[in-house]
A and B are shown apart, each in its own frame.
Chain A
Amino acid sequence: MNTFLLMCWEFFKTGLFAVGGGLASIPFLREMSIKYGWFTLDQLTTMIAVSESTPGPIGVNMATYVGYEMFGIAGGLFATLSLVAPSIIVICIVAKMLEKFKQAKVVQGIFTGLRPAVVGFILSAVVSIFLMALFNVDAWKASGAVMDLFKWKAILLFAGLMAFNHFKPKLHPIFMIIIAGAAGLLLGF
């Protein structure tokens, strides 16, 4: 088969079988690297790093990256479209069913359980972002000094942004991201 079509097919499969977000697609990309040799595992590590440090969902960034490396702009575009096509199909079907059965007692009941669980999952993600952004567990473990556990500049910025957010709650999240990015850059985080 033509490599371009094969690449599209592989990304379609990834979109169809990688359940649970962008990081779930990494094993599929590893397999592509090993099976076809389209890119090396070293390149994959770089792709993951770039995908995490650029805006947009990680899974989408990785698909664009792989496609671009293989076939330029058209490759990036089609790899991404192939990746999201299964989502569009599956979710449209689920959404249609949901519309129909939303009032059913079974569905209402299931969602009473799902909503608090989702809050729990998100809290878990928030805690790990906090650990990454404000604390330096490795340095603390290495030196044993409690002071090394905290990223002081980040904590000060956090306090500042929290206060800012409290007094200007209507401010769009985009501005918060821009201010914080600029602060990180200027203060040399």
Chain B
Amino acid sequence: MKKLWNLYVSWFKMGLFTFGGGYAMLPMIQREVIEKYHWATEDEIMDYYAIGQVTPGIIAVNTATFVGYKVKGVIGGIVSTLGVVSPSIVIISCICGLIQNFSDLPAVQSALRGIQVAVCVLMTRAVINLYKKGVKGIPTFVIFAAAWVLSTFTNISTVILVIIAGIAGYVLYSMELKKGGEAK
């Protein structure tokens, strides 16, 4: 019960303080899921993000379900997902009912522009942390650079890029295993 409650509260917080898409949630996930509760490691979060890209649904929700499932099975997955969507339900319902033209309000615009700057700072740290974990040696650097360039400058679907990266990873891994074998 305690664990389920922690999952709900923690994902509620993450939903409440994320502005934008799933990636913007990363700094919060690092703090809550990885550092505070040790529900998952950095490697696992990267895996979940990658799987979240090629499976249906919203990445933030997929990641919440993954972490919840790992901690407490199916019920954990459900509770985490409910946690991450609860703030949206409450906030959007209030805004629809009370305020017209919410996003046009100058105060909202100003606050959001400030928040964007915080997201820059937080994401810089998050991406450096992940880079240290995920990119080791020249072959993985090539995959990283190719993924960055292709996702920035081309319209190739992320789904295709994930599949190519997976195949490249498998080829690389098999080659290294072979080399390791011969060295012995």
Residues of A within 8 A of B (CB): 15-23, 25, 46, 49-61, 64-65, 68-69, 73, 76-77, 80, 83-84, 86-88, 90-92, 94-96, 98, 105-106, 108-130, 132-134, 154, 157-158, 161-162, 165, 172-174, 176-177, 179-185, 187-189
Q: Does the CB pair A184–B117 fall under 8 Å?
A: yes
Q: Does the CB pair B18–A55 fall under 8 Å?
A: yes
List 3 tightest A-B contacts by C-beta distance, closest first: A113-B169, A184-B114, A120-B147
B6 part of interface (Cβ distance < 8 Å) = no
Main secondary structure of the interface of B (DSSP, over half): helix
Residues in A with CB closer than 8 Å to B28 are 173-174
Q: Does the CB pair B60–A57 fall under 8 Å?
A: yes
Residues in A with CB closer than 8 Å to B25 are 57
Q: How many residues on the B side are at the interface (Cβ–Cβ under 8 A)?
A: 109
The residue that B158 contacts in the complex, of A121, A176, A187, with Cβ under 8 A, is A121
Residues in A with CB closer than 8 Å to B152 are 124, 127-128
Which A residue's beta carbon lies closest to that of B51?
A94
Q: Does the CB pair B127–A177 fall under 8 Å?
A: no
Residues in B with CB closer than 8 Å to A185 are 107, 110-111, 114
Which A residue's beta carbon lies closest to that of B63?
A91
The residue that A55 contacts in the complex, of B19, B93, B118, B151, with Cβ under 8 A, is B19
Q: Does the CB pair A115–B102 fall under 8 Å?
A: no
The residue that A111 contacts in the complex, of B21, B47, B57, B107, with Cβ under 8 A, is B47
Q: Does the CB pair A23–B166 fall under 8 Å?
A: no
Determine the distance from Cα of A177 to Cα of B50 in the docked complex, in whole angstroms. Answer: 26
Determine the distance from Cα of A92 to Cα of B63 in the docked complex, in whole angstroms. Answer: 11
The residue that A56 contacts in the complex, of B16, B57, B127, B141, with Cβ under 8 A, is B16
Determine the distance from Cα of A172 to Cα of B170 in the docked complex, in whole angstroms. Answer: 37
Determine the distance from Cα of A43 to Cα of B48 in the docked complex, in whole angstroms. Answer: 34
- Closest Cβ–Cβ distance, residue A124 to chain B (whole Å): 4
Residues in A with CB closer than 8 Å to B62 are 87, 91
Q: Does the CB pair A181–B103 fall under 8 Å?
A: no
Q: Does the CB pair A80–B111 fall under 8 Å?
A: no
Determine the distance from Cα of A91 to Cα of B84 in the docked complex, in whole angstroms. Answer: 15
Chain B contacts with A in 51-101, Cβ cutoff 8 A: 51-62, 65-66, 69-70, 74, 77-78, 81, 84-85, 87-89, 91-93, 95-97, 101
Which B residue's beta carbon lies closest to that of A131?
B120
- Closest Cβ–Cβ distance, residue B3 to chain A (whole Å): 16
* Known contacts A68-B92, A129-B119; A105/B53 CB under 8 A: no
Q: Does the CB pair A87–B22 fall under 8 Å?
A: no
Q: Does the CB pair A120–B87 fall under 8 Å?
A: no
Determine the distance from Cα of A189 to Cα of B115 in the docked complex, in whole angstroms. Answer: 10
- 6 CB < 8 A contacts A-B: A57-B58, A91-B51, A91-B55, A114-B166, A114-B169, A123-B144
* Known contacts A20-B159, A21-B58, A116-B143; A182/B114 CB under 8 A: yes
Determine the distance from Cα of A83 to Cα of B131 in the docked complex, in whole angstroms. Answer: 32
